[in-house]
């Protein structure tokens, strides 16, 4: 899984990059084989003014459906990252479950309408 980290107006420290990579890999380890890319965009929305302005936006593309996109804003960047990763994990789980359910629903009518399989 490739993890792309983009920052706005501030440099990304090595410790922050390692923290992000660890959180993403551990949170999405159950789905790593199906994930090719996770993108994070980190921004300080208000610059030096302060306030709840540290933003983390996560985008996870999924083949055959719309991507999972999560946006979290907090006063602390690490908190924004951690919450966004947690929310993205839950959203990814729900989306993949729905995708699996829909593909299963499409398969069942096909099997029932097949005369060779209908006798079973």
Average pLDDT, the chain: 84
pLDDT tens for 19-65 read 999 999 999 988 867 788 999 999 988 776 766 689 999 999 988 88
pLDDT at site 21: 96
Q: Name the CATH code of domain 2-118 (choices 3.40.50.1360, 3.40.640.10, 3.30.160.100, 3.10.580.10).
A: 3.30.160.100
Can you spell out the DSSP letters for 42-69? EEETTGGG-SS-EEEEEEE--TTSPPEE
Whether the pLDDT of residue 11 is over 90: the answer is: no
Residue 104 tokens, joined: 């299963």
pLDDT of residue 88: 96
Distance CA 96, CA 92 (A): 6
Res. 89 pLDDT band, cuts 50 70 90: very high
- Which pLDDT belongs to residue 82? 97
Q: Mean pLDDT, to the nearest integer, of 87-113?
A: 75
Q: Tell whether the model's pLDDT for residue 114 goes beyond 80.
A: no
CB of 27 closer than 8 Å to CB of 38: no
Sequence spans of domains, the chain:
2-118
* pLDDT of amino acid 31: 80
């Amino acid at each position: 899984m490739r993890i792309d980290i983009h920052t706005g107006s501030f440099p990304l420290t090595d410790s922050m990059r390692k923290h992000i990579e660890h959180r993403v890999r551990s949170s999405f380890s159950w789905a790593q084989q199906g994930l090719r890319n996770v993108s994070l965009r980190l921004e300080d929305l208000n610059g030096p003014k302060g306030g709840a302005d540290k933003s983390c936006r996560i985008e996870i593309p999924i083949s055959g459906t719309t991507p999972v996109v999560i946006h979290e804003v907090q006063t602390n960047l690490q908190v924004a990252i951690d919450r966004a990763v947690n929310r993205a994990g839950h959203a990814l789980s729900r989306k993949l479950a729905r995708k699996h359910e829909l593909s299963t629903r499409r398969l069942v009518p096909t099997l029932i309408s097949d005369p060779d399989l209908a006798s079973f």
